[in-house]
Structure 1
Amino acid sequence: MSAPVSAGTAQAWAVLDGDASLLARVSYGGPSGGLPARLPVRELARASVAVCSLAAAELASVRGRRPVARVRVDDEAVAAAFLSDRLVRLDGQAWTAFAPLSRFWRAADGWVRTHANYPHHRTALLAALGVPQDTGDQAVDAVDAVDAVAEAIAGRAARDVEETVFAAGGLAVAVRTPQQWRASAQGASAARQPLLTTARIGDAPPLKCSGSGLPCAGLRVLDLTRVLAGPVATRTLALLGADVLRIDAPHLPEMQEAHNDTGAGKRSTALDLRDVADRRIFFELLDRADVVVTGYRPGALERFGLTPGELAERRPGLVSAQLSAWGRYGPWRERRGFDSLVQAACGIAVSEGSAEAPGALPAQALDHGTGYLLAAGVLRALTEQHREGGARLVELALTQTAHWLVHDLVHDLVHDLGNTAGGADVDALDPGRRLAETDSPMGRLRYALPPVSYEGGPSDWARPPGLLGTDTPTWQDG
């Protein structure tokens, strides 16, 4: 007899406005190692994957006119998926996800966390702190920059560094306790928000049932997202049969290594929306799209006519899914952000370590959890479209997922025993069961298998990742 549904799964399914009776179709199993933490990270991971799997089974039921399949959440598969960026290998080589200047720094009155994986963010950080730019010798520059940044931050207040770097276009946040975050204007705004929001924003006739086996078969998804939550969501939609076309701006740097992890099942192209010809191609793609997923900071795409209202007016019945780091509210609404920065600002770093020595979650769990919740929101929106029609909007933010983790979730004693030690136990995972290998255009790729699963559903992606930005900007059916 299976254990009852986890509290986190029930919470997330309720926010998605799902039928509570369907929760009886969810069960759990498998070894539970891999995500030990003080906070209930395993419960976040399990719940986000569970509701995504259930939403997929529900949509498959609606489109195929058959009963909703049972969902089995395997904890080991979930842990491997949440650690996928650490487990991915290309020709046996691991990917180093964080650059030397992406780390914690001791400030005069606490700690600062920076993010400088991209060259333009690194340049902005160094300029803001008055650190000389690179000489051209990568080995020397890496050591000198770390020492110089450490010295520059050590003599300043953490929040002064935060504001100075932000003003220069860089990424840095002061490490806060959960109480300090909730007392801030942005934290207070985030605390008033639900885990995610969904809304009907336009009229359109109901979608027709396809009878297809995969819930997203025949659907077209425009993927305008970057590391990591958005690509996890669209990778999941590709697993479920969608034609996912990722679009990147050619002038913004992106990492092929990240795409090796999150690009499975998709195609990838480059379009510059500032260019008239490229913008015309984009809107031709949009006119046939069913879903648009955006993951840029609020305001970045709106100037191109990509607000949810404008999208729904141009393409009636479209599902728009929007993701941001800090949310579309509060004084930080237009700031850039990443999982590691949100952990530091929202109090997670202190919770996992201390005010004297901040720590981190065993995985980029805010990114991964938000990604599966985003996919679940899209799937539920598509289900409601089949039933009632209409254009739909789904909105999520990493800070809202962080609030869920810190304040609403608890360690589930039925499903989550012993989840208290810090650090990711990657070696506890069984590669033979949760990892797979395939040939790709980049070389031999090892990757984590998808955790989203239901009876009769797909067990792997139909295609490996490709070279970023090299596919033709067309839909697969012409």
Structure 2
Amino acid sequence: MLDAGRIATAYRSDRVLTIDGTAPPVWAALSGFWQTADGWIRTHANYPHHAAGLRAGLRLGDTAEAADVRDALAVRTSAAAIEAISAEGGLAVAVMAEHPALDAALRQTPLLDVRGYDSPAAPRAVLLGSASRPLEGIRILDLTRVIAGPVCTRTLALLGADVLRVDPPGLLEPEWQHLDTGHGKRSTLLDARSARFDELLAEADAVVLGYRPAALARLGLDPQSLVPRHPGLVVAQLSAWGADHPQRAGFDSLVQAESGIALIESPDGERPGALPAQALDHSAGYLLAAAITMLLRRRAIEGGSWWVQTSLRRVAAELLGMPRRAEPGAEVAVDPAAHIAHFSIGDVELVTAKPALPGLEFAAPRTWGADQPSW
């Protein structure tokens, strides 16, 4: 039976996460809402290269801090600031009101867009796992970052899959982010253009893609390229803004801001706010994990190759179409004590949320990037 408290804790896992007894800062100083000359924008600068792009776009030095960004944005319009920041590789969006017509149109499209392709069945098509670990023996190549994709692949590992996360060398992952969502997976650093990567892909049952669609296409890792090369492969694709915006990068917080959620969640009717959880990320991750599990079973029965895709923006449209109160209700208190797990990872003592699925327990996360690129 599902436990509402367990699910709520899992959705807000960053709030119970501690590393050596300390809650890590999950937002960088330059990530957040900023008032401009004509409104508000939201930035995401948790990665150093995005912070550098933000500073460069605002013509600030490498040591500029939050106060400098605040002052620079106060004299710019939102449109001018976003254009300048984006031109330098930073991430910023306008805080906007709801788009009822757009949301209604998005809800006419599948929440999980599933497509099948005729192809020879893969050699390892049959699911041989148990009732509690149905994906035992299934190999998942994980090309995702941040929260939504890692939540998806963490869930697949929980169900018994052999999940290998591959990150490009030179692009570090924040420690807390990996420890919050890395349970049960191995993690390696490997260039996606290497021969070894192609060998891993050839032996995979499924691949989960979380990078910008245009960036994947340049590497030949888009579904249209992967499916013909690897018959029987299940391809799952997640993006921030959807297939209609292949060049656009984004995160949960940015989609909340531009879709209208941030203004709905305003604490005072003026300043933007945010959902009490990274709900777009977590929802997309669980939905995609369910779809992959279903498609692996369909492949075992029907053969062929399969592709499923969704986006944070599509999930936002679904959320915005649900019933809501005119005024926010009181927050329901959940005692997290029954819903946390303790791990020792080398010299690190880690506390994280337990899985939302009842009766299952996570395996410990492994050190990011420390595993060999092999199954």
How does 1:215-234 map onto structure 2 within 5 Å? 215-234=134-153
Partner of 1:356: 270
**Structure 1 residues 197, 422: closer, same or farther in 2, change over 3 A?**
farther
Which whole-Å CA distance do the structure 1 matches of 2:7 and 2:129 have between them?
A: 29
For residue 302 of structure 2, the aligned residue among 360, 368, 388 is 388
Which whole-Å CA distance do the structure 2 matches of 1:124 and 1:193 have between them?
A: 34
**Structure 1 residues 115, 209: closer, same or farther in 2, change over 3 A?**
closer
1:212 and 2:212 are equivalent in the alignment: no
Partner of 1:347: 260
How does 1:272-421 map onto structure 2 within 5 Å? 272-274=191-193, 279-329=194-244, 332-353=245-266, 356-407=270-321, 409-410=322-323, 420-421=328-329
Does the aligned pair in 1 maintain the 2:213–2:222 contact within 8 Å?
no
Give 3-state SS (helix, strand or coil) of 2:213's partner: coil
For residue 360 of structure 2, the aligned residue among 459, 465, 468 is 459
Which whole-Å CA distance do the structure 2 matches of 1:418 and 1:307 have between them?
A: 42
More helix by share: 1
Partner of 1:76: 5
CA drift at 1:316: 1.2
What RMSD in Å do the two structures reach over aligned CA positions? 2.1
Q: What percent of counterpart residues are identical? A: 47
Most deviating of 348-357 and 368-377: 348-357
Which whole-Å CA distance do the structure 1 matches of 2:166 and 2:304 have between them?
A: 25
Which whole-Å CA distance do the structure 2 matches of 1:266 and 1:405 have between them?
A: 30
Does the aligned pair in 2 maintain the 1:230–1:293 contact within 8 Å?
yes
Partner of 2:183: 264
Which whole-Å CA distance do the structure 1 matches of 2:20 and 2:161 have between them?
A: 28
**Structure 1 residues 333, 421: closer, same or farther in 2, change over 3 A?**
farther
Does the aligned pair in 2 maintain the 1:190–1:327 contact within 8 Å?
no
1:255-295 per-position Cα deviation (integer Å, ceiling 9, x unaligned): 12111110000000000234xxxx11111111110010010
Partner of 1:126: 55
Q: Which amino acid aligns with 1:429?
A: V
**Structure 1 residues 177, 419: closer, same or farther in 2, change over 3 A?**
closer
Partner of 2:90: 170
Most deviating of 79-88 and 428-437: 428-437
Aligned residues: 371
**Structure 1 residues 284, 355: closer, same or farther in 2, change over 3 A?**
same
Give 3-state SS (helix, strand or coil) of 2:80's partner: helix
Q: Which amino acid aligns with 1:256?
A: E
Give 3-state SS (helix, strand or coil) of 1:439's partner: strand
Which whole-Å CA distance do the structure 1 matches of 2:330 and 2:275 have between them?
A: 8
Which whole-Å CA distance do the structure 1 matches of 2:282 and 2:179 have between them?
A: 16
**Structure 1 residues 165, 215: closer, same or farther in 2, change over 3 A?**
same
Does the aligned pair in 1 maintain the 2:129–2:136 contact within 8 Å?
no
Most deviating of 86-95 and 155-164: 155-164
CA drift at 1:82: 0.5
Q: Which amino acid aligns with 1:400?
A: R
Q: Which amino acid aligns with 1:170?
A: G
**Structure 1 residues 370, 211: closer, same or farther in 2, change over 3 A?**
closer
How does 1:97-108 map onto structure 2 within 5 Å? 97-108=26-37
Q: Which amino acid aligns with 1:392?
A: W
Which whole-Å CA distance do the structure 1 matches of 2:222 and 2:250 have between them?
A: 20
1:26-47 per-position Cα deviation (integer Å, ceiling 9, x unaligned): xxxxxxxxxxxxxxxxxxxxxx
Q: Which amino acid aligns with 1:302?
A: A
TM-score (norm 2): 0.93
1:430-465 per-position Cα deviation (integer Å, ceiling 9, x unaligned): 233111212122511111110123xxxx5102x311
Does the aligned pair in 1 maintain the 2:139–2:163 contact within 8 Å?
yes
Partner of 1:430: 335
Which whole-Å CA distance do the structure 2 matches of 1:333 and 1:208 have between them?
A: 34
TM-score (norm 1): 0.74
**Structure 1 residues 296, 107: closer, same or farther in 2, change over 3 A?**
same
How does 1:134-213 map onto structure 2 within 5 Å? 134=63, 141=64, 145-179=65-99, 182=101, 190=106, 193-205=109-121, 207-210=125-128, 212-213=130-131
Does the aligned pair in 1 maintain the 2:139–2:203 contact within 8 Å?
yes
